[in-house]
């Protein structure tokens, strides 16, 4: 990979990390979508568990993406140095 191509890829990965952080930020403070009194009993429990499961899956996917991009960025930066 040429130096110019490496620098361009580093910039792209840095921009991607910033975008991942932008997407992740609101997920850290997602409120429950429905007021607690709108649901009762097992329906509320199932709804809450489903919401938490989807939220956890999204957080895990973002974490994996961040880790993958960071590894590639570190590799390219080490090649450059």
Q: How far is the C-alpha of 57 from the C-alpha of 48, rounded, in Å?
A: 14
User: 3-state class of 30 per DSSP?
Assistant: coil
Model confidence at 38: pLDDT above 70: no
User: What is the domain range of residue 69?
Assistant: 3-80
pLDDT tens readout for residues 49-77:
777 888 888 889 999 999 999 999 999 99
String of b and e for 45-69 (b: at least 16 CB within 10 Å)? eeeeeeeeeeeeeeeeeeeebbeeb
Q: Where are the beta strands (DSSP E) in 1-81?
A: none
Provide the domain count of the chain. Answer: 1
Single pTM value for the model: 0.69
Cα 53 to chain centroid, rounded: 15
């Amino acid at each position: 990979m040429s130096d110019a191509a490496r620098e361009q890829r580093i910039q792209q990965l840095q921009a991607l990390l910033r975008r991942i952080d932008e997407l992740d930020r609101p997920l850290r403070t997602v409120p429950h979508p429905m007021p607690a009194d709108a649901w009762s009993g097992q329906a509320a429990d199932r709804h809450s568990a489903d919401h938490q499961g989807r939220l956890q899956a999204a957080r895990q996917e973002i974490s994996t993406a961040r880790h993958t991009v960071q590894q590639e960025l570190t590799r390219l930066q080490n090649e450059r140095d």
